[in-house]
Amino acid sequence: MPGAIYAEGLVKTFGDVRALDGVDLDVPEGTVLGLLGPNGAGKTTAVRCLTTLLTPDSGKAVVAGIDVLKHPNEVRRSIGLSGQFAAVDEYLTGRENLQMVGQLYQMKAKEAKVRASELLERFNLADAADRTSKTYSGGMRRRLDLAAALVVSPPVMFMDEPTTGLDPRNRLQLWEVIQELVAGGTTLLLTTQYLEEADHLAHDICVIDHGRVIARGTSDQLKAQTGGERVELVVHEREHMTSAAEILAGFGKGETTVEQHTRKLTVPVTGGAKLLAEVIRELDTRGIEIDDIGLRRPTLDDVFISLTGHVAEEKEDENGSGAGAAKQSKRKKEADK
Ligand SMILES: Nc1ncnc2c1ncn2[C@@H]1O[C@H](COP(=O)(O)OP(=O)(O)O)[C@@H](O)[C@H]1O
Ligand SMILES: [Mg+2]
């Protein structure tokens, strides 16, 4: 039986650009799929096709058991969409924005009011509820956008890069909200450029590049493929390298790599920051002075290198103003001609 979100052979072209080049997806009910890929990979296009905002050139899509191409209106009633470009009206207050969404979905005015208050509370926006959303910070807008998508508690949700551009604190807050939502039984497709985020939130991950799925699996499977987490350590004295290597071997989940000339040791681990603290304590007890130590988590780039032998081509900084963005907007303009 197909899952709550199902796609088969989705193709979408814009002029010469094959934004989707035959994408298959299957998200079981109540689970989270992380669609992971660099800028320009086709994530937004996939979300737009699945949420009826774009018609694919070919392929099949079924969401919440409804054929997306045949019955787009019914699909719209069963889903929530929050994304980089979802509509929050800047000139309305947070509360008015949420009430308006409720009314669009034919809620009674009173019901919409109650729902808006609930969501404002839940998303930490109660204090700012009656200010125009123009005055909100980036993180607050993102939360309002997400709240707007939840007014009607849809069984299936789509979130397009919900945390791109957020600072770490707001990102963590949003992760919590998303986890609560999923605990309530919602099926979620989430796009992201961050492996760490997919790792944290998603049951399954699809890596996409140039409109194709190039890998899929659980985050553990993907991380195993990329070598996973590592502790990297630089010892101060060359003569300490052997004993440091012994200590690391005791904590590691694989072979320790030793770089003599840089005095750097690397070992694959599981256990994150807690383990790192234990390593540091042990080194300290044995009197081994270190110049540098850190936990390196695999990134999207690491995944790409291990899958394709090269780094992801398009890259955008958090403000969307990097070289990758410029290159992409150029590509977009060319495609529009
Ligand atoms: N409306 C459009 N017109 C022309 N090209 C587009 C349009 N939307 C997306 N593209 C192109 O399709 C490709 C995939 O874009 P997109 O789905 O936005 O990727 P992502 O969301 O992963 O960054 C890119 O090359 C992009 O430039
Ligand atoms: Mg996008």
- pLDDT (average), residues 54-63: 97
Is residue 77 helix, strand or coil?
Answer: helix
> Is the confidence at residue 247, as pLDDT, over 90?
yes
How far is ligand 1, taken at its centre, from the CA of residue 329, in Å?
9
> Is the confidence at residue 34, as pLDDT, over 50?
yes
User: CA separation (Å) from 13 to 59, 92, 192, 193, 289?
Assistant: 12, 36, 22, 22, 57
pLDDT of residue 84: 53
pLDDT of residue 2: 76
Q: What digits encode the pLDDT tens for the residues 198-246?
A: 989 999 999 999 999 999 999 888 877 777 788 999 999 999 999 999 9
Percent of the chain beyond pLDDT 90?
57
- pLDDT (average), residues 48-73: 96
> Is the confidence at residue 325, as pLDDT, over 60?
no
Confidence of residue 300 (pLDDT cuts 50, 70, 90): confident
> Is the confidence at residue 297, as pLDDT, over 90?
no
- pLDDT (average), residues 92-115: 92
Helix axes 94-104, 109-122, angle to 10 degrees: 130
How far is ligand 1, taken at its centre, from the CA of residue 189, in Å?
18
Confidence of residue 165 (pLDDT cuts 50, 70, 90): confident
pLDDT of residue 86: 60
The atom number, within ligand 1, closest to the CA of 42 reads 17
Q: Which tokens hold the place of 23?
A: 């994408």
pLDDT of residue 324: 40
- pLDDT (average), residues 148-168: 86
3-state secondary structure 163-221: CCCCCHHHHHHHHHHHHHHHHCCCEEEEEECCHHHHHHHCCEEEEEECCEEEEEECHHH
The atom number, within ligand 1, closest to the CA of 160 reads 21
Q: Is 13 in the pocket of ligand 1 (CB under 6 A)?
A: no
> Is the confidence at residue 24, as pLDDT, over 90?
yes
> Is the confidence at residue 163, as pLDDT, over 90?
no
How far is ligand 1, taken at its centre, from the CA of residue 38, in Å?
11
> Is the confidence at residue 323, as pLDDT, over 80?
no
> Is the confidence at residue 278, as pLDDT, over 90?
yes
Beta-bridge partner residues of 51: none
Contacts of 287 (CB under 8 A, 6+ apart): none
Q: Which tokens hold the place of 213?
A: 């799925």
Q: Which tokens hold the place of 92?
A: 């309305």
In angstroms, the CA 39 to CA 168 distance is 20
Q: What is the pTM of this model?
A: 0.76
